[in-house]
Amino acid sequence: MIKIQRLWAHGALGVFALVLGTSAAAAKPAPVQVKTQYGWVRGALEQGVIAFKGIPYAAPPRGALRWAPPQPARPWRGVRPALRFGPDCMQRPTPGDMAPLRTRPSENCLFVNVWRPRQLVRRALPVMVWIYGGGFVDGGTSPAVYDGAAFARDGVVLVSFNYRLGNFGFFAFPAMLRHGQPAGNFALLDQIAALKWVQRNIAAFGGNPHNVTIFGESAGGMSVNALLITPLARGLFQKAIIESGGGGGVLLPRHPLAGGAHSAEAIGVRLARQLGIRGQGLRALAALRALPASRVLNGLNMATESEEKTFVGGPVIDDRTYFGPAVEAYAKGMGARVPVMIGTNSADLGAMPETSLRALFASFGPYAAEARALFDPGGRRTLAQVSAEIGGARCMLEPARAIARILSGRGQPVYEYRFSYVATSMRKIWTLGAPHASEIPYVFDTVRAHYGARTSAADAAMARAMHSYWVAFARTGRPDPAGEPAWPRFHARSDRLMNFTAQGPVAEPDPWRQRLDLVLRERGPAPIP
């Protein structure tokens, strides 16, 4: 273990030395005041890098702009302090969230944050743009685990931004469609607007607008899939990383924009009625826009959204910004042809509805005996354990592998990973493996912000290693940091991935290949996210 930790540390030091060498060549501090398209902003030196927080990238989406595409921000005079996060978007935070907010949510939330190295260098730096998760109802840029300082110290300009959530981010109504107003996926339009802001402004922060990598987890990973597929985002980024982004059609409902009781506009009418507003015309729409944000929020969060029948549940199929399950869209030849990293966690999100092991294995039909042999070979596992593993395979692991197969099969550089590492302080609790979202502090190298005094030397070493792979991919499109094990490009025939294990990063054939092949053959009933 000591030898492995030394190797990880060597890789991290190699990255640091490269950045230090280029910075020393210039030996000139970067400016803390930068001119954006809307006006000057002033950042601050923090954690050895320069951070700019709470920069408007669009106008506040409230009043008449509630359920409208993001509009240009109002320019300001003088120098605007960019010293603290703007409010995260309107939501009711879920208790126990692994990334707790540090702001009071508001509708006035379309802000971007930028971290850049302290020193200027001669060349423009790679840019990474983070898209947070939270089931499309929770989340924001303020959590400590999303701090971009480690990326900036390693020579990357890190950008994060807020996007609308819940009923504010996904909504349709008959009056909108009748009168030609955009409807449905305002959250995705926010994401596209933020990426356009990056294209227009990131050079002023030292970033290269032609070397942008988008990356996101859970709902953020689903968003990365959507951005890869929609033509509206074409050319706004050059690489993509999908962390636990599903894509197989299990996690997101398939609501069309209009037509029938299952449509987004019908669900919007039900929401209006629940909020005490009758009618479907412009007057009713204006009344909805005039409601207090707390009313429109309607108590939504990750604990309640699956029970709420007046929320569409996320992206709406409009054949413009969202085209349905990513696996199906990629199989039709859709999607930007850019390098992709994709993966999941070993104990990722998912569970099955069956109430007994016998019923669960029977759901595989003619493959029941094979399912039992693969998921419960000793016959000693509990229903909860097997349900979680089968559900995770169907919700997350198999769709990620399917996407890797499709994209690599058409010639795109694809790199698949599995995050199996469990923090040392959690190993007696997380006995099935690494749960959903637990990789994030390692990607950002912010494990101490999450685990505090419980952070072990092994945890810190894994964070340095994993972070260095993400940085290397952002630089060149290849996750090949110096001093770390080589990460093979994915090919369906070899089925090799990088597994981040308790022994360090290990390149190997997918250890769950037989399980995922089975799930691919016989998906059975839909899992419960």
Check pLDDT > 50 for residue 15. Answer: no
**HSE, side-chain direction, 13 A CA sphere, residue 306:** 9
Indicate if the pLDDT at residue 108 is higher than 90: yes
* Predicted pLDDT at 311: 97
Helices marked H in 65-185: 149-153, 166-169, 174-178
In 64-218, alpha helices (H): 149-153, 166-169, 174-178, 186-201
Instruction: State yes or no: pLDDT of 503 exceeds 70.
Output: yes
Q: Which residue has the tokens 């995050």?
A: 419
Q: Give the model's pLDDT for residue 28.
A: 81
Question: CA nearest 217: which of 342, 339, 70, 359?
Answer: 342
Is the model more confident about 17 or about 30? 30
pLDDT at 237 over 60: yes
Residue 359 has pLDDT above 70, yes or no: yes
The sheet that has 33-36: what strands, in order across it? 33-36, 39-42, 79-81
Q: 3-state SS of 125-140?
A: EEEEEEECCCCCCCCC
pLDDT value of position 8: 37
Instruction: Take residue 379 and report the two structure tokens written for it.
Output: 């016959």
Q: In whole angstroms, how far apart are CA 29 and each of 21, 32, 123, 334, 411?
A: 14, 9, 14, 44, 42
What mean pLDDT do residues 186-191 have? 98
Mean pLDDT lowest among 93-97, 155-159, 322-326: 93-97
Residue 17 lies in a domain: no
Q: What is the percent of the chain with per-residue pLDDT over 70, rounded to a whole number?
A: 94
CA 290 – CA 292 distance, rounded (Å): 7
Distance CA 246, CA 220 (A): 10
Question: Is residue 8 domain-resident?
Answer: no
Tokens 């990383």, located at residue: 241
Per-residue pLDDT tens for 65-84? 999 999 999 999 999 999 99
More confident residue, 23 or 497: 497
Please tell me the distance from the alpha carbon of residue 489 to that of residue 478, in angstroms, as a whole number. 9
Q: What is the pLDDT of residues 439-472, one digit of tens each?
A: 999 999 999 999 999 999 999 999 999 999 999 9
CA-to-CA dists, residue 406 to 320, 326, 385, 397, 429, angstroms: 22, 11, 30, 15, 36
Provide CB contacts within 8 A for 160, sequence distance 6+.
112, 113, 129, 130, 132, 141, 146, 148
Distances, alpha carbon 224 to alpha carbons 17, 240, 340, in Å:
31, 7, 10
Tens digit of each residue's pLDDT (9 = 90 or more) over 369-405? 999 999 999 999 999 999 999 999 999 999 999 999 9
- Which of 69-83, 299-313, 440-454, 489-503 comes out lowest in average pLDDT? 299-313
Q: Which residues are CB-contacts of 276 (< 8 A; sequence separation ≥ 6)?
A: none
Lowest mean pLDDT across 55-59, 114-118, 259-263, 472-476: 259-263
Dihedral sign for Cα atoms in the order 286, 287, 292, 296: negative
**Residue 187 φ/ψ, nearest 5 degrees:** -60, -45
Residue 143 lies in a domain: yes
| Residue 526: strand, helix, or coil | coil
Query: CA separation (Å) from 230 to 189, 336, 475?
Result: 11, 8, 24
Distances (CA, A) of 40 to 31, 201, 202, 479: 12, 11, 13, 35
For range 23-35, the mean pLDDT: 73
Q: Is the pLDDT of residue 4 over 70?
A: no
User: How confident is the model over 156-171, as a mean pLDDT?
Assistant: 98
Q: Please state which of the ranges 91-100, 148-157, 436-445 shows the lowest mean pLDDT.
A: 91-100
In this predicted structure, the answer to whether residue 11 has a pLDDT above a threshold of 50 is no
pLDDT confidence tier of residue 523, bands split at 50, 70 and 90: low
- Asked whether the predicted pLDDT for residue 524 surpasses 80, the reply is no
Residue 488's SS3 state is: coil
For residue 23, pLDDT beyond 60: no
Contact, 112 vs 51, CB < 8 A? no
User: Is residue 526's pLDDT more than 80?
Assistant: no
CATH number at residue 53: 3.40.50.1820
How does residue 307 score in pLDDT terms, banded at 50, 70 and 90?
confident
Query: Could you tell me whether strands 207-217 and 239-243 are parallel, antiparallel, or unpaired per DSSP bridges?
Result: parallel
Has residue 20 been placed in a domain?
A: no
| Contact yes or no for 223/323 (Cβ under 8 A) | no
pLDDT given for residue 12 in this prediction: 37
Please give the share of the chain, as a percent, with pLDDT higher than 90. 90
CA distance 221 to 396: 11
Rounded to whole angstroms, the Cα distance separating 171 from 312 reads 7
| Res 26 pLDDT > 80 | no
Binned at pLDDT 50, 70 and 90, residue 5 comes out as very low
State which H helix or E strand residue 209 sits in.
Answer: strand 207-217
3-state helix, strand, coil in the chain (%, to 5): 40, 20, 45
Q: Which helix (H) or strand (E) holds 268?
A: helix 264-274
Greatest CA separation for the chain? 71
Count CB-CB contacts under 10 A for residue 457. 12
Does any domain span residue 24? no
Task: Give which of 244, 222, 180, 216 is closest to 323, Cα–Cα.
Answer: 222
Q: Is residue 329 part of a domain?
A: yes
Q: How confident is residue 31, by pLDDT bands cut at 50, 70 and 90?
A: confident
Per the CB < 8 A criterion, the answer to whether 508 and 495 are in contact is no
CB atoms within 10 A of CB 20: 15
pLDDT digits (tens, 9 = 90+) for 266-297: 999 999 999 999 999 999 999 999 999 999 99
Q: Please state the rounded mean pLDDT for residues 16-33.
A: 56
Q: Do 90 and 105 meet the contact criterion of CB atoms below 8 Å apart?
A: yes
Across the chain, mean pLDDT equals 93
- Domain residue limits at 232: 37-521
Q: What does pTM read for this prediction? A: 0.94
Cβ count near 100 (within 10 Å) = 14
Residue 471: count other Cβ atoms within 10 Å of its Cβ.
26
Residue 32 within any structural domain of the chain: no
Q: What total number of domains does the chain contain? A: 1
Looking at this protein, which amino acid is placed at residue 522? E
Does the residue 102 lie in any domain? yes
pLDDT above 70 (res 528): no
